[in-house]
Amino acid sequence: MFKKDEEVNIKNTETVIGQSIKVKGNFFGDGDIVVEGKLEGAIKTSNNLLVGPKAIIKADVEAKTAKISGEITGNVVVENFLEITSTAKINGDISASQISVESGAVFNGNCLMTKVEEKIEEKKDEIKK
């Protein structure tokens, strides 16, 4: 389905939304998610997300890492690494601590780089509390 990637590596796939499937609603999971079909609503996972080249997502997206090759209309919030490939079309704001954008990708929105160090300090403060 996808070539193995050093950064966004899908190992523990909990959900696969195939090409002929349309999901409507709030889709929240703990495992890795692969989207090849359509999704409307919201999608959130505490692990990795892969959006295939034919996928169409009209939703806000949250994930630990993400590789986007399809179309997303909505905001994308990624905790660690966000990879945007040449076939991706993103209409919305993106936020991640590391971003890679391949030539040919379409992106209309604001980009916010979050710092990993800040998050580590926040977590340390939370533990102390």
Partner 1 sequence: MNIFVYDSFLSDKKHQNTISKIETRITDLGLSGKIIRLNLLKNHLDSIDGEIKRGAKTIVAVGNNETLNKVVNSVLSSNHPDASKIPIFIIPVGKENNEISLSLGIENYNQACEVLSSRRIEELNAVEINSSYFLSEARIQTMGTKVEVDESFTLEISEQGNIIISNLKIDKQKALKNHQSLPNDDKLELFVGLKKDKEIKSAFMFKTLLVSNKIKKIIIDKSVEITTPAKITLSNKKLKTIVGKNRSF
CA gyration radius, the chain: 14
**Looking at this protein, which amino acid is placed at residue 64?**
K
Q: For residue 128, what is the enclosing H or E element?
A: helix 116-128
Q: In the complex with partner 1, which residue's Cβ is closer, 26 or 110? A: 26
| Binding-residue pattern over the window 24 to 63 for partner 1, x denoting contact by CB under 8 A | xxxxxx-x----xx---x----------------------
Q: Which range binds partner 1 by CB under 8 A, 8-16, 74-82, 95-103, 109-117?
A: 8-16
Please identify which residue in 5, 9, 13, 109 interacts with partner 1, judged by CB under 8 A: 13
Helix/strand/coil for 126? helix
Does 109 sit near partner 1 (CB under 8 A)? no
Distance from the Cα of residue 67 to its chain's centroid: 6
Strands 32-35 and 98-101: unpaired
Smallest separation, CB 64 to partner 1 (Å) = 17
79, two tokens: 């905790």
Binding site for partner 1 (CB under 8 A): 12-29, 31, 36-37, 41
